[in-house]
Amino acid sequence: MVAVGAVGPRSVRIWARAPGERRVTVQLTESTAMPDAWSPAAVVTREVDAAADDTLAFDVPGDAPGLDPLLPERSYRVRVRALDGTLLGEGRFRTAAEQPGPGRFAFALASCHQPFDRRGHLVPESVRMLESVGDALAEHDARFLLEMGDQIYADYPPSHSLFGKFFRTVAPRGRKDVFECTREEIRRLYHERHRIFFGVEPFAALHGRLPCYPILDDHEIRDNYGSSPDHSSERWRAIREGARDAFYDYQASRVLTPHEASASFHYGFVNGPVAVFVMDLRSERRADARVVSVCSDGQFEALGSFLERHAERPVAAIVVSVPVAHVSDKPAWVGLKLLGQATDVADRWSNPKAIADRDRLLRLLRAHQRAHPEQRMMLLGGDIHVGCLFRIEWADSVPPLYQFTSSAISNIQPRVAQWGAEQVPRVLAGVDAGGDLSARVAVVPGEGGRGENPYGGLNVGIVEVDTTERTSLRFKLIGAPGARVVFDSGRL
């Protein structure tokens, strides 16, 4: 498998899995060139890492001496081969612009890839959705795809969970329970989960069709990971560290070098008119009897610095794998009392123990909007198995903030669960953080007969930015069956 990761104006990061190989060769050509006009093969000197499940990630041209620097705003094809000439995979991408210019720009977002039924068999409807997504994104000229968490599931379907009886079928020698495993054993077990979920052919193919920017969420470790005090205990150390190791090997290495990856996988990038900051809401998440800390001071500071550095970009997008506006404060408090800490309610920003971090995030975003009212801002999320667009209107005259959620790309819910997921956003009237930090929340209506908002079926989101005159935003949900547009906000 070969996947395209982060792109810049003159570079691209490529990821590959090459079992049994030590090194690989890479070739490039512009998409408009003749079919045989490939560059001479350049040997990548960074060796395939057996401990990383025979994966490697490298920068072109930085790690491929002999290849010319790439050119901004150009479409390229790339292919990676073993040293004996065996083709490992191909990809395509368009480099970023050096400076944003007027015009139309689109990108995509998705989350929650779990296409297996309770017996572990692929669900045909999920496969059809994955098969059609690539063409739908190409039709919208999406420049990149934000993968906002749960690209794999360690614990679903339940019949194949590493935390249930299934573990015995894959257990390392002498281990009766996943909690007995070492960090390296966990890393290998989670490698296998990545091979299974990324081994679904149309999902793998999607990663070669355009640059993909991933972040982890709970199921890359365990459902609702970090929201229970137990997850911070020594008992969970090997699981959280081994799972993060595997996530880096298969996903984060596509956008981050080993030097850039640390206690948190958060990162930022710019492409065209859009500055994107991807928050990591899992790696630093800690809970005790009183507080759920969603992320560190350092990550909040990195977000603030990133927004300030890129305040001139027409659009700022902040990826929060768990949407900020979802369940109102009071229902969250009641749900927590009734259902306890081991539930989805505890995982929400409106969990009373997590509200301090939610309000800190909102305060940071609102202050930036007040200082830079000309910049359009959006929150992008997944996790909750419903597609939805909210307009968040502050109590003062600060421009509205949009929250766009896309979930799930392949994880089909029972009809009752779909209906329930669609009802929750409809009853959210506001975010009550006190004073002028409070905001009114409203579901945005669609236009042109495409008004399914919220939408509980399989979906992928599209954001279109038009800077021809004033900066306008347009949000779409592509839904199953048929990868059709089920929601279109029109220009906002």
Q: Other CB atoms closer than 10 Å to residue 426's CB: what's the count?
A: 11
Query: In this model, does residue 339 exceed pLDDT 60?
Result: no
What is the pTM (predicted TM-score) of this model? 0.94
340 pLDDT tier (thresholds 50, 70, 90): low
* CATH architecture assignment, domain 99-488: 4-Layer Sandwich (3.60)
Determine the Cα–Cα distance for residues 307 and 373; give it in Å rounded to an integer: 13
Domain boundaries, the chain: 1-98, 99-488
One fold for both 1-98 and 99-488? no
> 232-291 pLDDT, tens per residue?
999 999 999 999 999 999 999 999 988 888 889 999 999 999 999 999 999 999 988 889
Tens-digit pLDDT profile for residues 417-468: 777 777 766 666 566 666 667 778 889 999 988 988 999 999 999 999 999 9
Question: pLDDT at position 430, please?
Answer: 62
Query: What's the CA angle centered on 48, arms 150 and 246, to 5 degrees?
Result: 25
389: tokens are 């667009």
pLDDT per residue as tens digits for the range 354-388: 889 999 999 999 999 999 999 999 999 999 999 99
Could you report the per-residue pLDDT of 143-174, keeping only the tens digit for each? 999 999 999 999 999 999 999 999 999 999 99
Residue showing tokens 């979802």: 326
Give the alpha-carbon dihedral of 95, 257, 287, 159, to 10 degrees. Answer: 80
* 440 in Cβ contact with 393 (< 8 Å): yes
Pair type for strands 388-394 and 472-479: unpaired
- Whether residue 401 contacts residue 365, with contact meaning beta carbons closer than 8 Å, is answered with yes
d(CA 94, CA 71): 10
| DSSP 8-state assignment for residue 300 | H
- Backbone angles phi and psi of 6, in degrees to 5: -65, 140
CATH of 1-98, one of 2.40.160.40, 2.60.40.380, 3.40.50.460, 3.40.190.290: 2.60.40.380
The whole-angstrom separation of Cα 317 and Cα 319 is 7
Report, as an integer, the average pLDDT of 122-147.
96
3-state helix vs strand vs coil in the chain, percent to 5: 30, 25, 45
